Each structure stands twice: as C-alpha cells, then as structure tokens.
Amino acid sequence: MARTLRTLHETDLEAALLRKSVGSLTAGRSTCADCGRTPLVGERMYRYGRHSAVCALCTPLRRAEPDAVELVRHFERGHTVKRVARHAA
C-alpha cells in the first residue's frame, strides 16, 4: 500500500516562518515582572533582586528601594555601522 505524502502549502510555510520570527524577537526581550509588558527603548527598568525587573509604571507598587536602575537599549546596540570622521590633512 502506498503512503500519501503530506504536502506543504504556501500558507503553512508563511505561518511557520511568522511563528519562528516572532518567537526569536520575544526571546531576547526583557519584560516587567509585575505587568508583563515590554518596556520601550529609553525607558528605565528597576531591578529588585537578581531576577526581578520592574518597569517605571509598576515601581510605585513596590515599597523597597530598587537594587539597580537600567536604561533599556535598542537590541542592535553595538552591532551597527559607525561613521568614521576623517580629519583634514
């Protein structure tokens, strides 16, 4: 008896690629431990303990002082092309 092969449709491929790209984007993001939202670039994240990071909107809900304050940077920081200034000879 012959087996039927499962054919891959274009919509299946598109959905798989979209799922993979969204998953890779969210993997490196930091999220607020209280509300779960992703902070914007330039926003401050407040660290409480080793693994708890809270956004600026949720810090008034905490009574303790934060251990550290970090600025959210763009994910390409350090990986972009930089312009070199040429000096006149």
CA distance 86 to 66: 44
Give the residue among 40, 36, 27 at the shortest CA–CA distance from 71: 40
pLDDT higher than 70, residue 6: no
Whole-number percent of the chain with pLDDT over 90: 13
State the average pLDDT for the chain: 79
66: which residues sit within 8 A by CB, 6+ positions away?
Answer: 46, 47, 48, 54, 59
**5 close to 32: Cβ distance less than 8 angstroms:** no
